[in-house]
Structure 1
Amino acid sequence: LLFHLLIVLAELGLGPEDLARTLWERHRPPGGPAPN
């Protein structure tokens, strides 16, 4: 499932780093550290 999801994201031009950054921004606690 995860592998298939990565393939779909790759086809959409969204790489793993972009996905991780998006998820981090969405789920990080308010006032928490920003991603590097």
Structure 2
Amino acid sequence: MKVTIFGSGYVGLVTGACLAEAGNHVVCVDVDAGKIE
């Protein structure tokens, strides 16, 4: 499944990591580029 997470705060990053570990393709988007890197 392809998933996009809008907002890469604590909840967004943890959710994205869990979904990616389960085998999903995850893209995280945030206005702060430092959070993505």
More helix by percentage? 1
TM-score (ref. length: structure 1): 0.40
State the structure with more CA Rg.
1
Question: TM-score scaled by structure 2?
Answer: 0.39
Q: Which structure is richer in relative contact order (CA contacts within 8 A, separation 6 or more)? A: 2
Structure with more of its chain in strand, by fraction: 2
